[in-house]
Amino acid sequence: MPIGARSLIIKNTTANGRKIPGFSDTIKLLKIRGEAMQNAVPNGEGGMLAVLGSKIEIIEDLLSENKNNFIAQIANDNSEGQIVLSGKNRDIEKLIGLPLIFAADCIGTTAELAVTSQKTGGVVLLENTRFHEGEEKNSIAFAKSLAKLADIYCNDAFSCAHRAHASTEAIAHLLPTCSGKLMEEELQSLETTLTKPERPLTAIVGGSKVSTKLDLLKNLIQKVDTLIVGGGMANTFLLAKGFSIGASLAEHKMKNNACMILDTAQKVGCKILLPSDVVVAKQLNSDVENFVVPVTDCPSDLMILDVGPKTLENAKGILVNSKTVIWNGPLGAFEIKPFDQATNILANFVSNLSYNEKLISIAGGGDTLAALNNAEASDGFSYLSTAGGAFLEWMEGKKLPGIAALE
């Protein structure tokens, strides 16, 4: 058990022969875990460093080659190009080449002393702003306490730009502002894609539910030339078109919304490619027998778990003639082989086209990056957004509070 951790007795429930802790016990466990992590290192001695734009292999080699000079380790491999290191402050200082002070709070006397005592050119790492209630409430009073520490506010976190929080929105009205280089790169890539794209512009949208991406679909059909739909949401569209989908996942209550999207797309001249053949099986399992069937002949007792080879060929025909591609969401249940096949094949097809400068490709949001990494196709894409919710809201055409505050 980690230093400082207390014992915990968990009342369990049982599911499929496994004991599962209840919600309240899970919260207690997470609290104890957090306290143990804090107690494991004396206050102010530990630090973290986000490394952006580098491959994990390069960082591993760097740490190995310098193991006698400093001790640091990879704490989080968030995604391709976004890796977090942890270690003692003195070792993190060696890594970044600047003096580093960690403040145990982000406002008040503790934070103010840390800022005033730091040398010119040094770095002060403040405690998490979310430990204060005023952060998520976008409190102007809390924002003023943060603003006291600075002369200029620079937002380089596009991934948080969809949140109207004190450290992303309110503070921007209190200080001179600017966006960081990573934020600018992300905005430029997204702006180019949706506002002034090279055409034909194609969007690939997958995932399980239409309901979670309804705004995205509504916005995309007004902007793209072709929309390729896969994943569980394709089942809802097939259902809306009158096809039987057997025992497949679908949102029956979203049939009318799917029909509306299909009708609107036709009116505005956006072509929608739905699966013409699918991979079906009795259950989502890696060793289950699976079959390829046309969408007109889906057995009543089987589930659709991936798109079929004919659908892939149709998609390739569209993509090879495209100049810009936006990708959000997998085409099938990519977490379980062999239902990752369509996603893997099409991801590598787009990656190769992009690598050979045949098209511009941008991907992000949800499970997209995990799916592309699983396909080993990430490197060829023109731009990968790690922003998640912010990426989706931008693609939905929404104004992001953190961006609007900088304008």
pLDDT computed for residue 80 by the predictor: 62
pLDDT computed for residue 20 by the predictor: 59
Q: Residues 6 or more apart from 140 whose CB is under 8 A from it?
A: 166, 170
- Residue 315 main-chain phi, psi, to 5 deg: -65, -40
Q: What is the pLDDT of residues 15-46, one digit of tens each?
A: 444 555 677 788 888 888 878 877 777 766 77
- Residue 165 main-chain phi, psi, to 5 deg: -110, 165
pLDDT computed for residue 228 by the predictor: 98
Q: What is the pLDDT of residues 148-162, one digit of tens each?
A: 999 999 999 998 999
Q: Domains of the chain (ranges plus CATH)?
A: 1-40 (no CATH), 191-396 (3.40.50.1260)
The ranges of the chain with pLDDT < 50 are: 1-17
Which residue(s) pair with 382 in the sheet?
none
Closest CA to 295 of 315, 275, 267: 275
Average pLDDT of the residues of the chain: 88
Q: What is the pLDDT of residues 194-246, one digit of tens each?
A: 788 999 999 999 998 899 999 999 999 999 999 999 999 999 999 999 999 99
pLDDT computed for residue 325 by the predictor: 97
